[in-house]
A = this chain, B = another copy of it.
Amino acid sequence: MMRPKTQDERDLLLYDSRLQRPVRMKTPEFERNGRIRHVIFSGQFTVPFLEELAGIADMIRMLSKSREGQDFLINLLPHKRAMLYFTQPSTRTFLSFNNACHILGMRTSEIRDPSTSSEVKGESFEDSIRTFSSYVDVIIMRTKESGRAAQAADLMNGIPRPVPVINAGSGSDQHPTQALLDIYTLQRSFEEHGGIDGKVIGMMGDLKRGRTVRSLCYLMKNYQGVRLVFIAPEQFAMQPDVKAHLDEHRIPYHETTRLDEALPSLDALYVTRMQTEWDTAGESRSVDLSRFSIGAPQLTRLKRDAIIMHPLPRGPEIDPSVDQDPRAMYWRQERNGMWMRAAVLMKIFGAEDRLSEIDPR
């Protein structure tokens, strides 16, 4: 494979190599009347959009604390029906989306077992997606293959009765709502410390194959003065395409294999697990994971107001004893995913305007 050279070339790869248009040309196709229509890749998100979504997520979170607020929320979209099409199993993302729908009163249908699909009868992917669109108001989809959600959005844009498509993870390329919840968690955590601007963010673990840290890097250009520290075994270092992107946007980054040295400087440490499912010859096993893990000894070297994030599920890279530490943010981060996904659904259906009707306190 040839190495992409320009931003457009990289966007193209990031998006979908089968569709011959770059990301920046695609973005308008995922909107409708200036409103977001399809949520396909994290490159779609602008800073104002991210901030608006975070505001909506805050409201949903606060409203969920009272019966009055909960009743307000379940009456927002009870007339809308979602399809959760998960041919790649994912308990966490599935539950997060399903409950985001339920918070807003939506009804859900699901396919989680590829073997019950009508593709068994030889139906094309396009026909399956169009069938779902016949019955529901939004398709939330997760696939093992790359580019499928983009393909579904393209199909929708060409039929008389399209419905929005939300990418809940398409192979190794994109998982935009994970990026949303990561940004939202950083925003919330640094709310009273000047926001994300100027922070030192460490990323640790399997940076080569970790989709979440890669997406997060691409979003960093939206913030001022951010510095990144990549802490990874040499064979799982951050890939050249990400580093070229950072160079282009003049975002400083530093690579190391020494967690202990990096720790004191960090405002946030984003830990990831080894992506063993992508191993072809047991590569992960060669890593001394203890050097890229966090437990009681590491906590003592971390700033008092730093935060620890993880996309979950976790392996041995975070000791369960860390959960008790106030800096452990990953369980809140997980729950933030549900609020952010509910915010996305509200935005897609234009329900955010109704938030002015209620006082969340």
Name A residues whose Cβ lies closer than 8 Å to a Cβ of B.
67, 70-71, 74, 78-79, 81, 83, 89-92, 95-96, 98-99, 102-103, 107, 109, 111-113, 115-118, 120-124, 126-128, 130-132, 134-136, 159, 161, 277, 312-315, 320, 323, 331, 334-335, 338
Contacts and interface: CB of A to CB of B under 8 A. Distances in A.
A95 B123 contact: no
Given A102-B107, A313-B123, A131 B95 contact: yes
A331 B134 contact: yes
Given A79-B67, A91-B111, A320-B126, A131 B312 contact: yes
Contacts of A70: 79
A109 B115 CA distance: 20
A121 B113 CA distance: 17
A135 B313 contact: no
A123 B331 contact: no
17 contacts: A89-B115, A91-B116, A91-B118, A91-B131, A96-B135, A98-B135, A99-B107, A99-B135, A99-B136, A102-B107, A112-B116, A122-B313, A126-B320, A131-B334, A134-B334, A134-B338, A159-B331
A interface SS class: helix
Contact of A81 (B99, B128, B130): B99
Contacts of A102: 81, 107, 109
A313 B127 CA distance: 8
Contacts of A92: 118, 131
A78 B74 contact: yes
Given A67-B79, A95-B131, A131-B312, 9 more contacts: A70-B79, A71-B79, A81-B103, A99-B135, A112-B116, A121-B277, A121-B313, A135-B338, A161-B335
A158 B173 CA distance: 37
Contact of A113 (B113, B127, B331): B113
Contacts of A126: 320
Nearest to A135: B99
What 3 pairs between A and B have smallest CB-CB spacing?
Answer: A70-B79, A123-B313, A102-B107
Given A116-B113, A134-B334, A127 B95 contact: no
Contacts of A320: 124, 126
Contacts of A67: 79
Nearest to A131: B92
B78 A315 contact: no
A349 B315 CA distance: 34
Contacts of A89: 115-116, 120
B315 A122 contact: yes
Contacts of A78: 71, 74
A90 B118 contact: yes
Contacts of A161: 335
Contacts of A331: 130, 134, 159
A74 B79 contact: yes
A323 B122 CA distance: 18
A126 B323 CA distance: 12
A140 to B, nearest CB: 14
Nearest to A96: B135
A312 to B, nearest CB: 7
Contacts of A131: 91-92, 95, 312-313, 334
B121 A109 contact: no
